[in-house]
Structure 1
Amino acid sequence: MTSSRPGLPGLLDTEAIRKDFPVLDRQIHDGKRLVYLDNAATSQKPRQVLDALNTYYERHNANVHRGVHVLAEEATALYEGARDKVAAFVNAPSRDEVIFTKNASESLNLVANMLGWADEPYRVDHETEIVITEMEHHSNIVPWQLLAQRTGAKLKWFGLTDDGRLDLSNLDEVITEKTKVVSFTLVSNIMGTVNPVEEIVRRAQEVNALVVVDASQAAPHMVLDVQAIQADFVAFTGHKMCGPTGIGVLWGRQELLEDLPPFLGGGEMIETVSMHSSTYAPAPHKFEAGTPPIAQAVGLGAAVDYLSGIGMDAIAAHEHALTGYAVQRLQDVPDLRIIGPGTAEDRGAAISFVLGDIHPHDVGQVLDEQGIAVRVGHHCARPVCLRYGIPATTRASFYLYSTPAEVDALVEGLEYVRNFFG
C-alpha cells in the first residue's frame, strides 16, 4: 500500500491493539488481508471479551437473582457487576439508573412506550408534540411515529443543511410549549455529524420537554457523560463498542424511572402478584422482565473494561486524526462526493460517500473483492438519502484498531472501482 499521509499525531499503538482482535488477522478472497471498515454497523471483539463470555458459560452459567446456589450467586454478581461498570463508564449518578435491554432500538422503544402510557406530567397525547431530526436512525424515528399514531401527538423534526449539519435556524419554532419530548442522535450513523447537544437541551429545558439521546455512535468513540449532557434518557448498544450482540443500555434519571410505568411484564420486574393486580420492583428491575441477557451483559462489562483501559479520550483523539486523514484523501478521489461534513470538525469516524454514477452496491461488492469491508445502502437512515437526492451511499467507518494504511487501502480500492467501471 502506498501512502501520501503526513505524520498523524494522536494515533494509538494500533499494532499492539490489533493483536487483541483475532478476526483482523483473517485473509479473504485468495489471501487478501481483511480491511474492516464497517465499524458503525458493528465492531470487532477483543480476546478479553471473548474470554469473558467463554468463562461465564464454562464456569458460572445460571439464572440470576433467583437461586441461592453457588452458580446463581456467581452469575448474579457478574451480571450486576456489569451494571456497575456501565454506570461508571457513563458517569451515572446511580447504578439503578442503568437498564439492560437487547439493543438501542429496544431502549428507545422502551422510552416511547413508557411515555405513551404515563400519567401527567409525562404523558404524550393529542395535545402534545414530539420532536426528532431528519438524520435519525430508523430506531429513533419509527418508535416516535408509532407513538404519534397511537396518541394523536404531532411529530416534528429539524431538517439538514447542505453540509450535513442540523438546521437549527428555527429552533424556537420547532421546540415549543407543546413539545413533550425531544429525541435526537448525538452522532449520526450515516454522516458522522456530532450534534450540538447543549443548544438543543437548553431549548428543551426551557419548555420542560424530556430529552432522549441516541448515543449508539457516541458511546464507542468518545467520553459519554450522562450528567454533563443533561439528557433525561440515553440509549446505546453493546455490539458497536467491542461488546457482544444482544445487549443494549438505557440510562434514565432516577426520578423518571420511579414515576414511569413498565413496558414489559413478567418475571423479575414484579414485587407482588395476585390474580387481581401486581406491584412492581424498583428500577432497574422494573424494566427488565424475564431472564435478562446475562452472558451478554458480562461481555459488555468486559468491553467497558477494555475501552476504559485504553482511555476514551485517547480513542477519540485517534479517530479524530484518522478521520481527518480519511476525509482529506477521499476528497482527492475523482468524482467522489462526501455526504455530510467535509472536514473532521464536529464529526465522528463514519464517512458516507457516492462515487460518480456507480451504484453504492457495486462499489461495495468490488471493494469486498479487494478485501475491504464497507457498508452500502441507506444505513437505516433513508430520510438522509432522500434529503440529498441519492438512492444510497457507501460508508467507511473506523475504530480504535483502524490504521492510516487501511485508509490508503480504501482509496486505492476506490481507484480500482473507478477503473473497473471505466
Structure 2
Amino acid sequence: MGRVNEPPRLPGGSFAAWSRDRLALARRGAEECGDVWQLEPGVYVAATAGVCEAVLRRAQDFPKPSSPLFPPLKRAGGPPMPEERVHARAARMHGLRPQAVAARIGEIAPGTARFVDQWPTGQDVEILPLVRPFLAEIGVHYLFSEDAPVLLPFAWQLFVAREVLVRPSRWMWPRWVPTPTRRFRTRRQVAFTNALRPIIRRRRSSGRLGDDVLGQMLRPSPRYGPLPEEAILDTLPGLTVATFETPSRAAGWILLHLARYPHAADRVAAEAALLPADPATTTSTHLDNLQYTQALVQEVLRLHPPSWLLTRRAPRQTQLADYTIDAGSTVLVCPYTAHRDAREHPEPDRFRPERWLDDSGSTAKPGVFLGFGTGPHGCEGASLAMAMLTLMTAQTARRYHVSEPPGPEPGYQVTTFEGLATAGLHLRATLRG
C-alpha cells in the first residue's frame, strides 16, 4: 500500500507508454493527477507552473544531475575546482547578461539578415538545415568576436558530435564505456580545445583580452584571480553549441507560426518596417520597439518550449506540493505542461501573442514562463537567444510571406527525445509585394 502523501500514479502510465508519446502522456498526467504525478516508482513529473518553478529554484533539494554532454577532458590537475566553476560561470554571465547583449545588437542583427537573404524564394525548403548555420555564426561570433572564423568549423563539428551522441539508441551504456560515439565526441572536443588554446594564450600575452565572452573569462576576478586555462577550455564546448542549438529548435516553431498565422506575421512585418536598412546599425532601442515580435516569440516558446523537459534529482527526502519525495528519486520538470496551466494562461492552447502585451502578461510571475528555465541553472544565454530569435522573426516577416507546403498532413515530425523540434519542416518564402 502506498504512502498517504505519495504523488498519484497515472493509470496506464509507464516508461513504455512514455516512450510511445511523451507529450500526450505528460498532458494526460497534468490533467488527471494535477501538480505532481508518478510515472514509475521513484520517477515523478512536476506538471504545473508553481510546482515547476519551485523545483527549479530549490537547487539544494533538487540539484541538476552532473552529466554534461561535453565533460571536462582528463588533465593532470583533475576536474575544475568548485571555486573555478563559480568564477567561470560569473565571468560567462558578465558577457551574457541583458546589458551586454543589448550593447552588441549591431553584431547580432547582420547574421539574422544574412539568413533572410539566403532563403531561396518560391520553393519548399527544409528550414532547420538552412537556419542553423546562420545562428551558429551569430553565436560563435558573440562568444569569440574576431576569432570566430577560426573556431566556427570546430564548433560545427561539436554540434555534429552532439547530434550523434544524443540520437536514440536501444542500448544505454554506462558513461564510462568508451563507445564509438563517445570517442567521436572526445576527438571533436579535443580539436576544438586545440584550436582555442593558442587564442587564449595570444590574448593573454598581448594584454588584448577582448570584450566578448571569452574576454570576460580571461579577466582576473578580484576574489579568485585569473581562471586557469584548462577551466576556460572545459566550460566553452557546451556553451558554444548551446548558443545556436536551442535557438535553432525554437526557430523552426517560430517560422511555422509565421506561416500558420498570417495576420500575426503581417503585424510583425509592420513593426519590422522601422528597422534600419543596414542591419549593422541596429541598436537595443530598435529591438525594444519590436514589442509585438517579442510577444510572438514568447508565445511560441510558451506553446513549444525547446527544452520541454528538465531532469532533477532528490538526494534526500523532501516535500513538494504537500507530497513526500523520497531520497534518490528523479523529478522531471515539464515546462510544456506548466505553460498550459489554465490558472496562469487563459485559453492555454490558443496561440495569442497579445497575452504578453496585457498588464497580466508578466514573465516575472513564478512559473508563468519557463522557456529558458529559471533558478540557479536557468539558461545563461536567454537574453542572447531572445535577441537572435526576435531579429530573425522581424527580418523574415518584413521580407517574406511564409507558407507550408500544400497537403493534408503536416510536413514535419515532432521530436521530443533531446528537445522539442520540428524535424523535416519544409517552408516556402515568397517576397512581400
Scaled to the shorter chain, the TM-score interval is: under 0.3
TM-score when normalising by structure 2? 0.24
Question: Normalized per residue, which structure has more helix?
Answer: 2
Q: Which has the higher contact order (CA 8 A, sep 6+)?
A: 2
TM-score when normalising by structure 1? 0.24
Question: Normalized per residue, which structure has more strand?
Answer: 1
